[in-house]
Structure 1
Amino acid sequence: MGFHEVRFPASLSFGSLGGPERRTDIVTLANGHEERNTPWAHARRRYDAGVGLRSLDDISLLLAFFEARRGQVHGFRWKDWADFKSCVPGDEVDFRDQEIARGDGGATEFALLKNYVSGEERYARPIAKPVAGTVKIGVGDAEQFEGVHFEVDLTRGVVVLDQAPGPEDLITAGFEFDVPVRFDTDRIHTSVASFLAGDVPNVPVIEVRV
């Protein structure tokens, strides 16, 4: 599958419906207890891009983007307005936002992660599509600077440091990020009359693994 490193117009994704989806297999035993398992290590996100359309110009922009992606053929970036930062949406990104690894004295490449913590439980989400110019890195609580101390592979979400951190040095990161997605349909139904009457088209979008 092809992937275009272009973001779906943020003005259209603002106000869209969507969020994470998980798959859980549940077996009810004879005694009434349940066994619950999941084949997915990570959630998959779904969105409806049609909800953000507010004008006929928006429809035109959507159709141009859809055609340029050849429908479902090519993936693209999507801004999830509810979850697009290493911190909470109202805060500024800081290099201490997320713990992503500890040094071993040899490794210089580290994948970006976002940790979701509730009580004693923690889930580490891989971040494959950071936003250019937003990535901040810290090593041992000292901020590093892009172009001087590290480079970022924006297509994979990997940070490459110029020097290997020492053993047990904590590597932290802050960033904004997009979700890699594709259209989940090969057709878009639009009607000017129904749109003006308040009936927006359904435009499903689904996360892809990259």
Structure 2
Amino acid sequence: MDFHEVRFPAALSFGSVGGPERRTEIVTLSNGFEERNTPWEHSRRRYDAGVGVRSADDLQDLIAFFEARRGRLYGFRWKDWADHKSCLPSQTVRATDQTIGIGDGVTTEFQLCRVYESGGADYSRPIRKPVVGTVRVAVAGVEMGKDSAWVVDPATGVVTMVEAPAIGRKVTAGFEFDVPVRFDTDAISVSATSFQAGEIPVVPVVEVRV
């Protein structure tokens, strides 16, 4: 996949509007009951990259980033300020935040994930773009030293252990992460006059599967 491992300017994504999107297919039966199904295992996020543009300099930064990505051609990283940690936004990342696997004595690779729970139901979201330097890993509650015990691929979110965790040992991780996205338009339309008058460009961004 054509993807640039570069983050959209965080100052411009701050205050952006967006969030997860689901696709649900609903069939209403003759008796009035419904059958609901989804072809998507995972949600997909959408944002507006134009909301954070507050000055002419910001606009130039946006255009430069857009041109370097060739519009919709190349994907990039996006910081979702409302959801970018393995814990609550107000908390500090800990190595025990999320369970990413259970040791079986053989497996050494574990995919980072973030679990969302509510009302007895949960959803496990794979995390493919962890932020370099923020990942922490623990086995059975004991934090493991990076490089000596494990490494993480920042492009895939896969943690590789030097030694396979013993059977039944819980593998956990804490991290910050970005969302893999692309522009959902090949055009940015705004004039200097309208921008000075307060009109900002609409620049849709959509999550991509990686």
Q: TM-score, normalised by structure 2?
A: 0.99
The whole-number CA distance in structure 1 between the counterparts of 2:97 and 2:201 is 38
The whole-number CA distance in structure 2 between the counterparts of 1:173 and 1:50 is 33
SS of aligned partner of 1:115? strand
Shift of 1:135: 0.3
1:153 counterpart letter in structure 2:
D
Partner of 2:99: 99
Partner of 2:187: 187
Describe the superposition over 1:172-192 as per-residue Cα deviations: whole angstroms up to 9, x where unpaired.
010000000000000100111
Shift of 1:153: 0.4
Partner of 1:63: 63
Structure 1 unaligned regions, length at least 5: none
- Work out the number of aligned pairs and report it: 210
Partner of 2:156: 156
Partner of 1:37: 37
Partner of 1:108: 108
The whole-number CA distance in structure 1 between the counterparts of 2:21 and 2:119 is 21
Partner of 1:72: 72
The whole-number CA distance in structure 2 between the counterparts of 1:115 and 1:100 is 9
Partner of 1:170: 170
Partner of 1:125: 125
1:157 counterpart letter in structure 2:
G
The whole-number CA distance in structure 1 between the counterparts of 2:161 and 2:134 is 16
Shift of 1:136: 0.4
Q: TM-score, normalised by structure 1?
A: 0.99
Partner of 1:54: 54
The whole-number CA distance in structure 1 between the counterparts of 2:145 and 2:90 is 23
Structure 2 unaligned regions, length at least 5: none
Question: Identity percentage over the alignment?
Answer: 63
Partner of 1:90: 90
Describe the superposition over 1:125-146 as per-residue Cα deviations: whole angstroms up to 9, x where unpaired.
0000000000000101110121
1:122 counterpart letter in structure 2:
D
The whole-number CA distance in structure 2 between the counterparts of 1:33 and 1:168 is 43
Shift of 1:24: 0.2
The whole-number CA distance in structure 2 between the counterparts of 1:184 and 1:146 is 37
Shift of 1:123: 0.3
| 2:28 equivalent to 1:10 | no
Partner of 1:196: 196
Runs of 4+ residues over 2 Å off in structure 1: none
